[in-house]
Structures are given as structure tokens and as C-alpha cells.
């Protein structure tokens, strides 16, 4: 009986010791995990802080590139920043920011779009086909097209409609077929205020006619042989089409901003970028569009 009690007490003591040892090991593991999590979080926060620093610099000056002689320091984390501007899609920049501490390093990558929509001849949410873009001197420039746009500019639709209403440019015809020289043979309505026409349906510019101003077109836009729009076509609805419906080229001297597609349908639409007209749209009806846009952050 005495031996049995001794064995039992020894077993209980050994079991208790093993439990205590196991708990100690779990405590150490938990502490290690907490420390690793803290280090990882601290490094990632430093990396994100570096990315914000780069974004602030780039928003002020898109040509800024980091030139720090040594890594920046945040608490006990060092921050290294780099900006990539080659080997990417057009008008893209990539910011790399690495936060590093004694235990590990973490990197944040931010892809930016660098450019204002008014700098382009065609800005389309959907596809663009059989459209030739040229700069203001008439030189073909394929970089003036943004199709399948990564974002759409913030345009004040209500303000545009109010302008069209106050100018009396709200035709009820569908389709609307403006006469040659509509509405006043000039892009401008008064001073630096552009003509604005709201087409609550389809717009058809017939062969040989030239029309002027900013056209908000809710439906399709059709340009026939030699038709010319001296201004900007803004199509605010998805699924719409700006097309050439003749056997000869048609022209837009200004630009296109569309939530739909643009397609010459086998014949060309020549879009000559006119910075003055695009800036008139941007400054009067789309002022809240920063040059830099964040496309992704990881």
C-alpha cells in the first residue's frame, strides 16, 4: 500500500510538471507570435506611411522621384521608397515602399494613373475601334486614346444640364439632327462659357454639317460623311455608341468622353484633340479631378 501511494504521488507530481511545462511552452509560443505580429504590423505601417509620403509628393509634383540619401526612420522602423515609371502600362507609376525593423521587412506597392482626362482626345469606358486620334497640330498620336478606362472622370452632370437649359439647347427631337452651324457657329456661348446641348436621345450629324459646343448625348451619336463636331461629345450612359455611319471619314475637333464605346464601323472617325475645348469642359463642369489616381494598393 505504501509503495502504491509513493508511485501515485510521483505520477501526480510528474503529470503536474508536464502540464506546467506545456503551459510554459504555450506561453512562450504565444509571446513569440505576439512579438512577430507586432513586428509585422509595425513594418507594414511603416511601409504604408512611406507610400503616403510618396503620394503626397507626387500629388504636388508628378515628376517627383525620391532622392533620400538614407532610409527614413519611423519609430524603430526604416523606410525605403522607390518610384517605377518604365515597363508599365501608359500613364502608370508604381510606388514601392519598404518598412524594415530588426525582425523583418514589409513592402507596400501602389499603382497610380498619372494624367488628366482633358489631356486625351478619347476617354472611353468601353472599346475604341476605327478611330484615329491626332494632336492639335494634326499629327497622329495613338497615346491620346484611353479605352477600357480604369476610372471615369467626375463630371458635374447636373451643372451641364442646367447650362443647356439656361441656353435653350434642349431639343425634344429623337433623333436630333442639328442644322449646319448649330447652335451659333462657335464653340462658345458667351465669353469663355461653352455652348452646351442636351440630347435626350440620339444625335445624328448629317453629311457635310458642322455643329459646335459640348453635346451631352443620352443615346447613340452618329456622324455621317464629312460631318464635324467642333467641340466635345459626352456620353454619360453605358452601352451607348459613337459611330461613323457613312462611307467617308467624319470628324470631332475637341474630344470624346464616353461611358460607352466609339467605333467608326469600318470607316474612320478622326478625333483631333483640341486642348482648349477639353479644358473648357474640365474647368467649367469637372473641376474635382486630381491628376493622380490610386488604381491599386497592396
- State pLDDT tens for residues 14-26: 455 555 445 455 4
pLDDT digit string, tens, across residues 155-165: 999 999 999 99
Closest CA to 279 of 290, 271, 287: 287
Question: For 38-58, how does the pLDDT look when each residue is reduced to its tens digit (9 = 90+)?
Answer: 678 888 999 999 999 999 999
Distance, in Å, from the CA atom of 169 to the CA atom of 236, rounded to the nearest integer, reads 17
Output the pLDDT for position 285: 97
Task: Give the mean model confidence (pLDDT) for residues 270-275.
Answer: 98
3-state secondary structure of 226: coil
Tell me the whole-structure pTM to 2 decimals. 0.82
Q: Do the strands 250-258 and 122-124 form a parallel or antiparallel pair, or are they unpaired? A: parallel
Amino acid at each position: 500500500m505504501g509503495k502504491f501511494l509513493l508511485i501515485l504521488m510521483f505520477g501526480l507530481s510528474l503529470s503536474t510538471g508536464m502540464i506546467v511545462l506545456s503551459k510554459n511552452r504555450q506561453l512562450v509560443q504565444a509571446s513569440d507570435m505576439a512579438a512577430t505580429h507586432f513586428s509585422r504590423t509595425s513594418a507594414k505601417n511603416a511601409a504604408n506611411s512611406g507610400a503616403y509620403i510618396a503620394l503626397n509628393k507626387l500629388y504636388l509634383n508628378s515628376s517627383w522621384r525620391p532622392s533620400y540619401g538614407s532610409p527614413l526612420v519611423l519609430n524603430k522602423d526604416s523606410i525605403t521608397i522607390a518610384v517605377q515609371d518604365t515597363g508599365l502600362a501608359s500613364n502608370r507609376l508604381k510606388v514601392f515602399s519598404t518598412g524594415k525593423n530588426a525582425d523583418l521587412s514589409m513592402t507596400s506597392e501602389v499603382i497610380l494613373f498619372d494624367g488628366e482626362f482633358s489631356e486625351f482626345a478619347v476617354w472611353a469606358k468601353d472599346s475604341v475601334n476605327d478611330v484615329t486620334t491626332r494632336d492639335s497640330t494634326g499629327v497622329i498620336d495613338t497615346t491620346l486614346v484611353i479605352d477600357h478606362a480604369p476610372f471615369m472622370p467626375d463630371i458635374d452632370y447636373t451643372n451641364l444640364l442646367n447650362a443647356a437649359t439656361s441656353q435653350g439647347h434642349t431639343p425634344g427631337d429623337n433623333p436630333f439632327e442639328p442644322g449646319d452651324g448649330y447652335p451659333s457657329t462657335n464653340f462658345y456661348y458667351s465669353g469663355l462659357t461653352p455652348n452646351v446641348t442636351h440630347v435626350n436621345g440620339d444625335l445624328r450629324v448629317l453629311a457635310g454639317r458642322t455643329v459646335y459646343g459640348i453635346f451631352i448625348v443620352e443615346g447613340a451619336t452618329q456622324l455621317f460623311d464629312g460631318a464635324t463636331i467642333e467641340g466635345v461629345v459626352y456620353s454619360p450612359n453605358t452601352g451607348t455608341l459613337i459611330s461613323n455611319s457613312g462611307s467617308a471619314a467624319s470628324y470631332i475637333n475637341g474630344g470624346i468622353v464616353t461611358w460607352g464605346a466609339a467605333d467608326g464601323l469600318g470607316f474612320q472617325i478622326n478625333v483631333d484633340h483640341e486642348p482648349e475645348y477639353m479644358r473648357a469642359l474640365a474647368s467649367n463642369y469637372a473641376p474635382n479631378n486630381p491628376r493622380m489616381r490610386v488604381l491599386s494598393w497592396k
